[in-house]
Each structure stands twice: as C-alpha cells, then as structure tokens.
Amino acid sequence: MSIEPKEYQAPVWHEPVIHQMGAPGRRGVLFSRVEDEIEAGVGPAADLIPEAVRRRDRPALPELSEPEALYHYLRLSQQTLGMMGISLFGTCTMKYNPSVNEAISWRPEITEVHPLQHDDTLQGTLEIVYGMDLILRELSGMDQFVFQAGGGAEAAYVNCAVTRGYHAARGELEQRNEIITTIQTHPSSAATAATAGFKVITLMLDENGYPSLDALKAAVSNRTAALMVNNPDDMGVYNPEIKEWVRIVHEAGGLAFHDSANFNGIIGKLRPREIGFDACMFMLHKTFGAPKSGVGGPAVGAYGCSAELAPFLPSPLVAFDGHRYRLDYDRPQSIGKIREFWGNVPVVVKAYAWSRSVGAEGMGQVSDLSVLANNYMEKGLLAIRGVTRSHPDATSPRLEMTRYSLQTLKEETGVDIHDVQNRMTDFGIDAPWTSHEPWLLPEPITPEAGEMWGKEALDNWIAVLKKVSDEAYSDPELVKTAPHNQAVHRLKPGVIDDPDTRAMTWRAYQRKTAHQSARRRASPGEVPGQPGE
C-alpha cells in the first residue's frame, strides 16, 4: 500500500522578542514591603550589597504579567523545531521518555537532597544508584560502575584517566603512550585520548566496513596503552572479529574499552566483558530511557570496568555492606573526580525506573525490535531514487542503524543532504542525522528507528524521504529553499558570522541595530556621529 506523507503546517506565531512586550510597571509577582522591625534589625536591603558590585542603572528587564509570560513561552514552544515529530536520530537512540519518570525525578526526595548530607539521610538515593550499578554489571559483565561522567565524552575521558592510572601503577605509563581507535568510533575517543596526553592511532575502514586485522596488528606494539572502539560502530556495522581484536591488544599488554553508545541493538544479547573488554560505558540518556542530552535534559555516561581497574575509578563510589549504603571516599589509587559529587543523579533515577519497568525480558525485546525495524527500513529506503547504502557489497551485520548516502541524488539534482533535512521538517519529520565528522560517506543520512516507533511511523518516514526525492528530481528549487511550512526559515548566508549583526543579548541587539540605523541615515561618504548626520 502506498503511503502519502501527512499534510503538515507548523504553528507560526508572529511572536516578538519578550523585551518588546509588556509595559512599564507591569508585574507577575508583587512583593510586600519589608516590615519596619526587620529593616531596623538588618538595615536597608540595598546596604547588604557591597557598593562596588551595585548596579548604577535599573536592569533592562521585560515587565509582564504572569499570564503574558506564560503564553509567550507556550507560543515559542509550539514553534520549536526538533524532537517534536518522528525522530530517528541515528547513533543517538532517541527513546520515549516516560512522564512518570520525570515526575519521580522532580520529587523533593531527589531535588532537595544535598550530596554532603550524612549517608544515613541518603539511604534511598544511594540504594537507587547502587541498584543501577548492579543492573549495568549484569548487562555488561563488568565488576563496578561509576556515574560521575556527565555524558559519553566524559566517560571516554574517565577511561583514558583510568588507563593512565593503571599503567602508572605498573611503572609503564611513560612507555605506553598510544591509544588505538578507528575512524568510525565516536570522535570523543580520539579527542579524550589526546586530551589525556596519549598519541592517537586511527585505523581506517576496509572494504567490509571495518578496519582489517592486519591494520590492527600493524598498529599494536609495546607502546599500546589501550584500544577504544564502539561496536556496532557509527555506521551501524558490527565487527565480527572484535574478540580477536581484544586478544591482540591484551597480548601486547594494552587495555580494551568498549564504547556502548550503540548498545540498543545488542542489549541483552552481548556483554562486553565476555568478549574480553576491560571497561565499557553506557549512555543512560540514550539507551536507558532518560531524555537525550542537549534537547531534553542532562546526561550520564555510566563507566564500568573490571575488578583489576576498579581501584582507579573516580571517587566516591556507592558501597553496600548488606545493611547500609555509604559513599566510599577511601580509595588511595583513585584518579579523583571527573566532575563534582556523584554526577547527575536524577538521570540515574530515570534510567533505573526504565530498567526496572522493562526488565530483562523486555530489554531483549528492545534489541529485537531495534534490529527488526532497521532492516525493515532498509528495504524501503533502498527503493528510493538517489539513495544508496554504505559498503553495499559488505556482508557484515547491520544492527540498529544503517548509514545511507544521498550522493547520487545530489549529483543528479543538485539537492544536498542539508536541503533534504530542511524539506523533511515540512512534513513533521525531525531533521534526520547525517554522521559524525569527518564524513566518510558523501551526503550521509543515518536513521535509527530503535524500538519505540511503530510500523506506521516508519512507513511515514520512508514516504516523506521518497516524496522529497521525487521533488528533487522534478522541482529541485522547492527542496533547496525549504523549509516552507515551519516557523523558522533559512538564514541568509553569513548572517550569524557577521560581528556587525550578530547579537547574543538584548543589549547588544539594541546597540547594533541603533548603529545600523545611524549608518543608514548617514549620507554617502559621511560617518555616523560626525557633523552632517
């Protein structure tokens, strides 16, 4: 049955900037005057502010009633592009974030605790953190997890710091100064390794979609500190030789780190420790049902390792003696802190709630549905004119996502991936993901259905891309000038790069627009502010 994309028109409000709204003296909240006895006791409120930091002028704040402010931001939210339509954001596993988890994380037992409270007053919170630790141990085979890292890149840096600590304790850090990664591993692995002081060796892809064993063997030496890879990688390719990779690195005395950012397709099916990895990380804000960082909330890169590496983990860890939970700071070989306190505990709470509600059997279904949806989509996408698949002849498994290319579409129509992204938003589809830089495939597009989207949504996504492809071949200018049905449109080239027009604050905007107005009023050859203006 042919699917027609749904007609879609985003809400478009001619909404002014909030500083242009309201009227002088209008207030959302009125505060009563300070009682005479309080002022007599502490003095005037203004005197409590040191003179050196007092404002000379009243702040240029908008003056609105509460309903005006509320309706303004509601209208802005209706015009927001992103995470509102069908979002198949490849390599990022966009999941539905259950509302009940948001409600739980806003309870005072979570929001009003302080990490410096006595452990006896934190038993419930510490139990949840410890419980999430146990769940991840079971899924990974690792012996200990820590939740300090505020995202995937920070977790990769934890691994680099732990690697330094491990080799330093063995007296080999000066010798082992190289970390091996691949071009299709998350860029954060190479970046954090370099930040930690290691030399980075990046392996290129072979014809089958992953680097060859010969390339790895050529890179490994007695200088190898660690291997850092994600598998499946960011093209969705699973390396079937990965166990041999780990063996080769271990034989040379190095460590092996599994970036599990793309774990959604193998959750419950594969445990990194059983392959031989010494450490791994999970993104709780992706795989485990907490909102994706950057668009819905903070992040947690949960880092786990073997018992041999556990002494070097960041401090503190949550420990349990069978009766009481406590924060363990007594860790003499610890690398210290990666960030303050324990990390983003509300995200751990959401991930714990998701894990307990789904359960072990449900996690197996998560991976099954992810792989099924990805392979279902491939059949429909490869039938679209101008769409090809990366490494089309490779037989290596594609799991929860596949990278495609629109190079043919661009060569034949002039329409590029960014044009396609913009046009798809006109049909209620969130702009699809391209790939991490550098692009190894021209004009890349990487959908990842995951387990949350039904067949109808996937059919709609495929139908929209087909329609945009048809438009590119019949009316390319229509696609090149998209979006047409959105609250926002394309910026003119160079606008955000021009320091004379770019304004990040209301004050800067006023100053620059006044300057531009003065320039427009000036006669040719005259300078604003000079005689004759």
Residues 190, 185, 212: CA angle, nearest 5 degrees: 105
C-alpha dihedral (499, 503, 507, 512), degrees to nearest 10: 50
pLDDT one-digit tens code per residue, 96-151:
888 888 899 999 989 898 989 999 999 999 999 999 999 999 999 999 999 999 88
Residues 248, 254, 259: CA angle, nearest 5 degrees: 85
Mean pLDDT rounded to a whole number for the chain: 90
DSSP H or E segment with residue 281: strand 279-283
pLDDT for res 528: 42
User: At CB < 8 A and 24+ separation, what contacts does 274-277 make?
Assistant: 274/141, 275/242, 275/243, 275/246, 276/243, 276/246, 276/247, 276/250, 277/246
pLDDT for res 170: 96
Pick the closest to residue 139 from 310, 231, 269 (CA basis). Answer: 269
Q: Tally Cβ neighbours within 10 Å of residue 93.
A: 27
Instruction: Write out residues in the chain with pLDDT < 50, as ranges.
Output: 526-533
pLDDT for res 501: 80
Q: Which fold has domain 360-480?
A: Aspartate Aminotransferase, domain 1 (3.90.1150)
The Cα–Cα gap between 452 and 460 comes to 15
DSSP string, 418-436: HHHHHHHGGGTBPPPP--S
Q: 210 and 237 in contact (C-beta within 8 Å)?
A: yes
DSSP string, 156-192: HHHHHHHHHHHHHHTT-TTT--EEEEETTS-HHHHHH
Phi, psi of 390 (to 5 degrees): -65, 145
The Cα–Cα gap between 449 and 430 comes to 13
pLDDT for res 203: 97
Looking at residue 320, what DSSP letter applies?
E
In which order are the strands placed within the sheet that holds 255-259?
144-146, 301-305, 279-283, 255-259, 224-230, 178-182, 199-203
pLDDT for res 532: 33
pLDDT one-digit tens code per residue, 456-494:
999 999 999 999 999 999 999 999 999 999 888 888 777
Per domain, the residue ranges of the chain are 18-78, 360-480, 497-533
DSSP string, 432-445: PP--SSSPSSSSEE
Count of residues in the chain: 533
The Cα–Cα gap between 271 and 277 comes to 9
pTM score: 0.87
Phi, psi of 363 (to 5 degrees): -65, -35
